[in-house]
Structure 1
Amino acid sequence: MPDLKNSFYTLLVAGTVFAGPGTGVVLAADTDLAPAGRGAAIEGSGPDDEATLARGEYIATAADCIACHTSKGGKPFAGGLKVGTPMGDVISTNITPDPEHGIGKYTEQQFDQAVRHGVRDDGSYLYPVMPYVSYAGMTDQDVTALYAWFRHRVKPVAESPPATSLSFPASMRSSMAVWNMFATKETPGQGDSATYNKLKRGEYLANALEHCGTCHTPRNFMLDEKHDRYLAGGPLSGWYAPNITSSVSSGIGNWSEADIIVYLKTGRAQNHAQAAGPMGEAVEHSTSRLTDPDLEALAAWIKQVPAMDDDLEHKPRDSFGQAVNAPDIRTKVPSRIDDLSEMTGPHIFDANCAACHGRNGSGTDDHYAPSLFANSVIGTTRPDNLIMVVLNGVNRTAGKDHAGMPGFGADSQVQRLSDSEIASLVNYVMGTFGSGDPHVTAEKVASFRNK
């Protein structure tokens, strides 16, 4: 991907991370759905309307709206989530039905223009970190249901998060009009999406609602998705959203549909991958809450996506490694050390990782702490996701299934590891249990620490 840090196009994907198997992820969008003092709400409260409201809630869940519009510790949909970019913070806005601080005065038509066309009620353009290019594929019926649910079931919050303030030229929203002319948008769905056959329903979920391609499809110099490389993977905000096509060597072609369903429902697929970070949040708030038929449809669609091979990945990411007969570092070579500055990869692993993942890397018997071999994060040739997991940890809840791991970054509640220590740890773990030593440097870890 070209270096576009000095271009407003950087904003198109900044913070838009929906990583796939073996990664983690948060979508952050500057929706700027500010009220304009016009329009009226949907009226009525009969049985049909209740069905519409229930449908709207499900659409909001499938589209993972809450991930973008809820700050850490904040009220649902009240905005305030900050996404750092080279040109300033993009801050999501309040989309509760409060008439002064949210979207309470939006008409359905104005709501549709924002969600599917990227134009807010005052005619200004939204930044495409709000994935309207994907939501453009939603059906009229689903947009109506979504609008009704936001108007009648979301609790109004009388708070306005700080306004997004970006440096030139990103501050000029009119520049988005040019990008919109070239960007490829999903075609609006026709009819009732609930009646689509299995594969069509899976396609609708993947492309319109869950917007998988936003992160898993690489982008061209304009940062539009390369549709001839659909779901072939790409870097996004520190993480690497991997290839999830049917390629056996580079994607998830060795996964069954059942594996995909379990992963989307729980965030873990044994002997394959675990979700962390933004993907963990996507599992927690969205995919784990889909119905079984929809999970089956989504898995069936992903499974049949044409294989896209990778220049770097030539063997399944989850096929590397085995349990290691590692020496007890406390009593055997390499010997115990007194000067912590002399700690090497094995010492750092023993002190911080072995208690849960085992000295041999096999994890816990109940798989709460996963195995480090037969693990997509360790078996990839790209160390990005392992670095991010070590820095940020894991905190994912899907139903009653929780997964947790402390992070060792700046905000760590446990021991904070330096950039050089994390580099040594990553090199040791991947070299011992995975695809080989990636030769990560302290400088590389430092570049990830602030993403």
Structure 2
Amino acid sequence: MPEIGKLLPALLVAGTMGSGSAFAQAQAPTPLAPTPTTAVPASSPAPSPDQANDPELARGAYIATAADCVACHTASGGKPFAGGLKIATPMGDVVSTNITPDPEHGIGKYSEKDFEQAVRHGIRRDGSNLFPVMPYVSYAGMTDQDVQALYAWFMHKVEPVPVSPPEDATTLPAAMRSAMMAWNYVTTMEKPETGDSGTYDPVRRGRYLTSALEHCGTCHTPRNFMLSEKQDRFLSGASLTGWYAPNVTSSKTSGIGSWSEDDIVTYLRTGRLDGHAQAAGPMAEAVEHSLSHLTDSDLHAIATYLLQVPVMEDDLDVKPRDSFGKPQEVADIRHDVPKRIDDLTEMDGAGIYDANCAACHGHDGAGTRNHYAPSLFNNTTVGSARPDNLIMTILKGVDRTTKDGHALMPGFGATSDVERLTDTEIASLVNYLTATFGSGDHHVTAQQVADFRNAK
């Protein structure tokens, strides 16, 4: 099946967590607490009056948040779940569908069985196959009760929007949805969980959230030649549209095994763990629109589960990513004689850092006292054996909002039609940062930066 190998690379994972600006204005449904008779943890936020007496709707709202449905099905400036988000792939754009209950443009005519077939099996009401951009491979693990609640919430609480998104703009063989039938046959899907997911013990609940609803393996698990997730390398790290979803197994060298349960909960809730890590790119989006809205008990369940995921080591790692570097005694390199700092053609990495980064991160790399601008040493991004996320963060910046506050770092890639830093300058900056504060000079080239800049 050689055409499948050409078809899937970007269709599998591109856009599964949205694309930042593409849905920044969309609001994730607030997780609502049910009455005590339901299985959703009682620590959920208080329900609105119209849902307080309908625990199934409250449960459905929470499941929609945990599954991060809003991410892919809301376009920039569009109404929630009305679709239209363009997900770029090397074979054209896949456009997310309208999943509001509008009968003509959305899923209003879907029966509960139709809905279940789409969510857990990737088959639309008309019988055609969905692309795995829709993570039905993971949602296949959802319980019947949670699928039923999700269906009820979409049908009764989501506003119908009479809008049809544009058609996919894919080229052959990507336009052949029938190829997904063969792929579905050979790929490994989550097995449906049974019983009431709200009554699971912490490890089982954490596994359910991690593997089914939050579909963490979609990004963090590497894939085989058929682009199915390698089950024997679960959560050991994988590339994703330029970003690298790191190893999050219990390894103390390559993963997060040295973090405490509270550390993991803090990171998932806020997108940052001071002195260790900051979420950017797709992970920042997952935190903002989904993970930060989960209950404390569910976040602890995820952390409990992750800390017992079998250790997977990475041959590139020699020690934990957040254990590199220290404050540097770096003199202010600015000259006594005035010099234009926007003329960067003669500047090396140190000069580029001084002109663009030191004002926030400090000449010594320690960041700000309140950790708004993080330290560059003991930093998982700078200390990684792979420069991928450091390059992407410099190119794209950080824009993440949670109850903890708004984290913002401007991107130094293209700003409108103006290129703020060239590929050569970013390569020099990355090599300076990793050599000075992190895991060593990675000898990143301008061509590598260009490849990341254009990653799909």
TM-score by length of 2: 0.89
- The equivalent of 2:215 in structure 1 is 211
Counterpart among 110, 124, 144 of residue 140 in structure 1: 144
CA shift for structure 1 position 137: 0.3
The reply on whether 1:324 has 2:323 as its aligned counterpart is no
**1:277 and 1:27 mapped to 2: Cα distance?**
12
- The equivalent of 1:130 in structure 2 is 134
Kindly provide the amino acid, as one letter, of the partner of residue 368 in structure 1: Y
Single out whichever of 48-57 and 114-123 deviates more from structure 2: 48-57
Does the 8 A contact of 2:270 with 2:404 survive in 1?
Answer: no
CA shift for structure 1 position 161: 1.3
**2:291 and 2:145 mapped to 1: Cα distance?**
21
Kindly provide the amino acid, as one letter, of the partner of residue 60 in structure 1: A
How many residues get paired? 428
Kindly provide the amino acid, as one letter, of the partner of residue 95 in structure 1: I
Counterpart among 164, 175, 178 of residue 179 in structure 2: 175
Single out whichever of 364-373 and 157-166 deviates more from structure 2: 157-166
Kindly provide the amino acid, as one letter, of the partner of residue 444 in structure 1: Q
Kindly provide the amino acid, as one letter, of the partner of residue 251 in structure 1: G
Other structure's SS at 2:87 match = strand
- The equivalent of 1:422 in structure 2 is 426
Other structure's SS at 1:155 match = coil
Query: CA RMSD of the aligned region, Å?
Result: 2.5
After superposition, residues 203-352 of structure 1 pair within 5 angstroms as: 203-331=207-335, 339-352=343-356
Other structure's SS at 1:262 match = helix
Distance 1:177 1:348, change over 3 A: same
- The equivalent of 2:383 in structure 1 is 379
Kindly provide the amino acid, as one letter, of the partner of residue 317 in structure 1: R
Other structure's SS at 1:279 match = helix
Other structure's SS at 1:7 match = helix
Distance 1:412 1:347, change over 3 A: farther
CA shift for structure 1 position 409: 1.4
Task: Please list every run of 5 or more consecutive structure 2 residues that lacks an aligned counterpart in the other structure.
Answer: 24-48
**1:162 and 1:60 mapped to 2: Cα distance?**
24
CA shift for structure 1 position 26: 9.7
CA shift for structure 1 position 5: 10
Kindly provide the amino acid, as one letter, of the partner of residue 262 in structure 1: T
Kindly provide the amino acid, as one letter, of the partner of residue 434 in structure 1: G
Kindly provide the amino acid, as one letter, of the partner of residue 80 in structure 2: P
Bigger relative contact order, structure 1 or 2, given CA contacts below 8 A and separation 6+?
A: 1
**2:305 and 2:268 mapped to 1: Cα distance?**
13
Kindly provide the amino acid, as one letter, of the partner of residue 277 in structure 1: G
The reply on whether 1:72 has 2:108 as its aligned counterpart is no
Does the 8 A contact of 2:51 with 2:58 survive in 1?
Answer: no
Distance 1:153 1:414, change over 3 A: farther
- The equivalent of 1:444 in structure 2 is 448
**1:61 and 1:193 mapped to 2: Cα distance?**
15
CA deviations 1:46-96 (Å, max 9, x no partner) are 989711101000000000011111122222111111111111111111111
CA shift for structure 1 position 411: 3.0
- The equivalent of 1:153 in structure 2 is 157
Other structure's SS at 1:125 match = coil
CA deviations 1:164-196 (Å, max 9, x no partner) are 131111111111000000110111110110111
CA deviations 1:366-423 (Å, max 9, x no partner) are 0000000000000001111011111111110111421110011113699711111111
Task: Please list every run of 5 or more consecutive structure 1 residues that lacks an aligned counterpart in the other structure.
Answer: 29-44
The reply on whether 1:367 has 2:371 as its aligned counterpart is yes
